[in-house]
Structure formats: C-alpha cells, structure tokens
Structure 1
C-alpha cells in the first residue's frame, strides 16, 4: 500500500488540551516522564484515514496506565476526537499515530509517586513507515540476544532503553531484528512479537509479563482462526526457534514480516514460507476492508 511522501508533514500536535505547531510544544524539565521515564505510550496505525483497531489500542493503554497506578485522563470519545483531528491533516493517507501519557510534574525530583498532579498528554501523527514490498517479499535477517529487560514487559512503558540497545546490536550485526531469549525461551523481538511455524502450525508465546500483548499479534491469531490456519499459543524454546520452518515478527510498524535468516543460518529454505504467504494475503485483505470502511476501526 502506497504511503504519503515524506514531504507531507502535519502542522499540529496535541499537548495537554491544545492543538499547536510542534515547535511550540513545551514540557517541564521536571516532568516525571523526562526524569524517570514515568509514563506509557501507544502507536496506532491509520490506513487510508481509518484508525486500526482503536478499541484494542485504548484498552491496552488503560491496562498500561492501571499497571503504573494511573487513571486514563481522557474518555474514549475524547481520544477519538483528538486522533481524528490529527489524522485529518493528511486526508486519506496511511499514518502512524503516537500518543504518550506521563505522570506529569510535581515540581521536584522524588522517586515517590506524588498525589494530585496533572498528567502530561501528548499526541502526534506522521506519515506511515511500513515495510517496503521488497522487504516483505524477501524477508529480513535476525539474531538472538539475551533478554535483559525488566520483568514487566507487558506494560507499554516509555522506558525503552534496553529495547533500543538490543535493536541497535542487531543492526550493528547486519540484522533487522533481535529475537530475545530468557531462561531458554524465546519471548519476542526487541520491537515486535514473535511467531514460528512448525509442521504447518503457527505458534506464538502466550501473553505474560515477559512480552507485550501486541495488537497486530492478536489480529494474526484471529485471522489464522478465520482462515483455517492451525495455530496455538505455546512457549517457544530456543531449540524450537532454531528448527522452525518459518519465523515471523509482527508489530504496528512491521505488520507481518518474515525472518529468512537467524544467526547466519537460513530459516527453512531461506525464503518467506507458504504459511507466511497465506497470512500476508489475509492481512492485506483486512487492511483493504478497513480502508473501504467495511470493518470498524
């Protein structure tokens, strides 16, 4: 699906109740998001001006906020109105919406969570950066790395330094993603969820505090059930990963991307596999229906 040119840029962001130019946005240096990474975020794709699974994204936002002892500062309708106004700046375009909620500023730096402070709410949109057709057709390389992140990876927290370093290590080694290993089990990618195919069956690790509950991950499972692709949620050992017939990574920006080489060795025959080809077609059909307004945002 063609995206907008990179020259097209939105003129406004949303910050704490105001729509304003990005260069006019200001946040206190005492904001706990700045000082502690005390906040959560969401990334919501928009296809042809239609939001992708908004209810699921807002539900995950609620869960993340609850996990860090915060309440959602906005009602569902308020969120939708903000998002619709921002995506309206690039009518009909594929976009990526980023929203972030931090705990705000109490005026001092103290680890203790303060009472009664106003959260900082920030939203922006930008032209979509999805995998190019060549990448989806040929696949990417991946490496495995030790999962050295914290124990609440189910929270979509803005504290992403560990993920940044892991992904950078993959890029340094000429790979497009790092698949993370903890206690002998593959958990997810540095910035993606993980699927493998063994003997024609699609397998992904079950939801837990070790991985992010991905919206795209859940859609892939739904599409597999709808289209008769055998699938299950099961822990993936490092041995299973090494012997997989196919490996995929999924996210809002990666969509469904095949991995054709792992740690320098081909996955399967070194090309995207037949189950991936079927899922890619199902995913493309879903996007087309969303664009056409035939399924809800």
Structure 2
C-alpha cells in the first residue's frame, strides 16, 4: 500500500484526510513541487526546494518545515515506498479554515502533503520514438512563475493534446510559444538552442535550468528569447524538459514533422548529460 506524508505523519495514502475547508481545495491557494527519483535518490533536490520557497513566499505562505526537513521527509517517503524510479509530489496549502471566505483567518496552520508515483522515464517508449506536440492558446493567469496548483488551463491543454493523439501541448500567447502544459519548450536552430528567458510569463524550470547550464558547459550556444510556432515547425530540432520527462525530443508539432522526424542529436546528447548529472548529484 502506498505511503503518504501528511503534516508530520507517514500513513497509507488511502487513509489521508484533508478538510473540505482547506483553502487549497476551495481557492487553489496552494503551491506544489514534483521531484524526480532515480536509483532511489532525489534529483536536483536543492533547485526544487528553492523554487518551493519562492512560490510559497510569492503568496505569503511560510514553509511549515525547513527545506532540510522537507528533503529528509522526501527521502524517507521514497524509502518507505521502495521507490527506485518515479516522482515525489508535494503540495503546500494555506491550510483549513473555519469557513469559506476569500480572506483567510489569521494563524492558519499550513497543510503539507507528499506522495510518490512510480514512473518509467529513463527508458520509456517515448524516449525512443519522440513525442508529438499540439499548440493551443495560453489561457493562464499572469503569475506563471508561481508553481500554483491552479492547473485548470493546463489540464484543458493536456486534454486537447490527448484528443489530437499528442503527448504535450505548447501554449501560445501573442503569437509566441510560452511553454508546455507541464514542460519547458526548446528549439535547436542555426542560431543555437532557443528557449524563453524566465519571467512572470513562464515557470522557471528546474530541469530546464540544469540542462541549459550543461549545454553551455559543453560549448553550445543558448539564446533566451521567445519563438513563434512557425519557427518551431521550421527548427532543426525541438524538445521539452521537465522532472517527469527529463529531456525529450519533439518530432511533430501540430502534425508537421520536425527536422527529419527522428530523435534530435542535440536533445539526445543533452538527455545523456542530464542523466549523468542527475546520478552524480542525487541525494
């Protein structure tokens, strides 16, 4: 039986209970993180915990534990579940209130929940075949740098992708790709590796940041700027990054083949570099 963490306790996931008056449920007043686990160890943990702190601070929410304590709890959670390869999901909410009001009562105790999910991403079928992406209008709010649990627009985009036989959606605003529904978007052109600079318009991807650094260390040029769908379709390569996919080649966008329709050599090399980095620095 899967074990979860809830406000200091480890207990079966099926027995976890959260109040219907929790502000995460009522107002999506909550932030979250997803950390990959490889060989039973946490990947890029410091970056994920730093982003958790930033997201929580942006909505005026204090962490109930130190980042060191959260990391220790995640390690124990992975061990209790025998998780060798997969993900740890963390959600932090404002907490349960005495009623429903837009303004929270003072002194609420935050709700901190974590659970694991076994997932193959080192040798999943998509690693060998690449994935398809569809584009869709970006319907999200303005503070996308906050990793909010308010994911309705992303869920809608994922559904559009699934109905089109694709595995990811790239969201488009003012003619430019912002990011994937659950990933950071990259192109490879004669100019170099192209990806948006991090701002309030997009989430600062932990995996994307690490892969960008690895690319630059390898002598590759990285250009931080927006790009259009037309540029993406005409690119030599396209790929996405995220904790759950690492670095994944995109071989079709809106049904149109990217490059020669096979895995891109740059994306493939960056994936190898990232997996090596992940294993060397895992905790």
Pick closer, same or farther for the CA change 1:158–1:259 going to 2, 3 Å.
same
SS at match of 1:170: helix
Matched, 1:128 2:119: yes
**CA displacement 1:145-196 (0-9 Å, x = unmatched):** 1111111111111111110011100110111111111011111011111000
Counterpart for residue 17 of structure 2: 26
Counterpart for residue 219 of structure 1: 210
Counterpart for residue 199 of structure 1: 190
Q: 1:94 Cα shift?
A: 1.4
**CA displacement 1:188-216 (0-9 Å, x = unmatched):** 01111100001161111000112111111
Q: 1:31 Cα shift?
A: 0.7
Q: 1:155 aligns with which of 113, 121, 146?
A: 146
Matched, 1:295 2:260: no
Counterpart for residue 88 of structure 2: 97
SS at match of 1:259: strand
Q: 1:75 aligns with which of 61, 66, 73?
A: 66
**CA displacement 1:248-280 (0-9 Å, x = unmatched):** 011111111111111111111111122122212
Counterpart for residue 111 of structure 1: 102
CA contact (8 A) 1:200 1:275 kept: no
Counterpart for residue 270 of structure 1: 261
Structure 2 matches for 1:210-249, cutoff 5 A? 210-249=201-240
TM-score if structure 2 supplies the norm length? 0.95
Q: 2:246 aligns with which of 252, 255, 273?
A: 255
Structure 1 range deviating more: 155-164 or 136-145: 136-145
Counterpart for residue 33 of structure 2: 42
Q: 1:26 Cα shift?
A: 0.9
Q: 2:159 aligns with which of 164, 168, 172?
A: 168
Q: 1:242 Cα shift?
A: 2.6
SS at match of 1:219: helix
Cα separation, 2, equivalents of 1:296 and 1:191: 22
After superposing on structure 2, the runs of 4+ consecutive aligned residues of structure 1 that deviate more than 6 Å are: none
Matched, 1:85 2:76: yes
Structure 2 unaligned residues grouped into runs of 5+: none
Cα separation, 2, equivalents of 1:23 and 1:146: 37
Structure 1 unaligned residues grouped into runs of 5+: 1-8
CA contact (8 A) 2:86 2:121 kept: no
Pick closer, same or farther for the CA change 1:30–1:239 going to 2, 3 Å.
same
Structure 1 range deviating more: 202-211 or 106-115: 106-115
**CA displacement 1:229-258 (0-9 Å, x = unmatched):** 221211212332232111101111111111
Q: 1:138 Cα shift?
A: 1.7
TM-score if structure 1 supplies the norm length? 0.91
CA contact (8 A) 1:40 1:100 kept: yes
RMSD: 1.6
